[in-house]
Amino acid sequence: MYTARATATGGRNGHVKSENGILDIQVRTPESLGGPKGDYLNPEILFAGGYAACFDNALLNIIRSEKIKAGTTSVTAEVSLGKLEEGRYGLEVTLEVEVPGVERDLAEELVNKAHQGCPYSNATRGNVQVTLIVK
């Protein structure tokens, strides 16, 4: 259906550019991991933005298909990088989801359905701990 293509050089202290040039950024290791002081883009920020947008779209598709009246939804993704056993690294994700205008039980049901259909959720399932919080 769709393929995105981007090239990174220099790892966490390098450059990322999409094939079509719309993404053309410098990335830096976060300060907490020994990177420079200041606010810079990094892979976790990029992943958080992509996951939040994808999940919100999956949620909107469920709301639309079930003909539910809801306010403007929002998804905040928090992506954490941490150490696993044997010196490996892994990610953990928390998705905070707002579905205004519907009762909490229905909002939770919609969020769980979105989690089943979201491509990012399907890609991470079984590999990344994803916590869903309905606000």
Mean of the pLDDT values across residues 18-47?
Answer: 96
Q: What is the pLDDT of residue 79?
A: 98
Instruction: Give 61-103 pLDDT, tens digit per residue.
Output: 999 999 999 999 999 999 999 999 999 999 999 999 999 999 9
Q: Are 93 and 124 in contact (CB under 8 A)?
A: yes
| Residues 51 and 31 grouped into a single domain | no
Closest CA to 61 of 131, 115, 128, 6: 115
- Residue 74 CA to residue 100 CA, distance in Å, equals 9
CATH number at 12 reads 2.20.25.10
Question: Range of 86's domain?
Answer: 43-134
pTM over 0.75: yes
| Residues 59 and 116 grouped into a single domain | yes
- Residue 79 CA to residue 48 CA, distance in Å, equals 6
* 38 torsion bin: left (phi>0), alpha (psi -120 to 50), beta (else): left
Q: How confident is the model at residue 48 (pLDDT cuts 50, 70, 90)?
A: very high
| Residues 61 and 118 grouped into a single domain | yes
| Residues 26 and 84 grouped into a single domain | no
To the nearest 10°, the Cα dihedral for 95, 100, 106, 108? 10
CATH number at 101 reads 3.30.300.20
Q: What is the pLDDT of residue 12?
A: 96
Tokens of 36: 């420079």
| Residues 3 and 50 grouped into a single domain | no
| Residues 31 and 47 grouped into a single domain | no
Q: Are 5 and 23 in contact (CB under 8 A)?
A: no
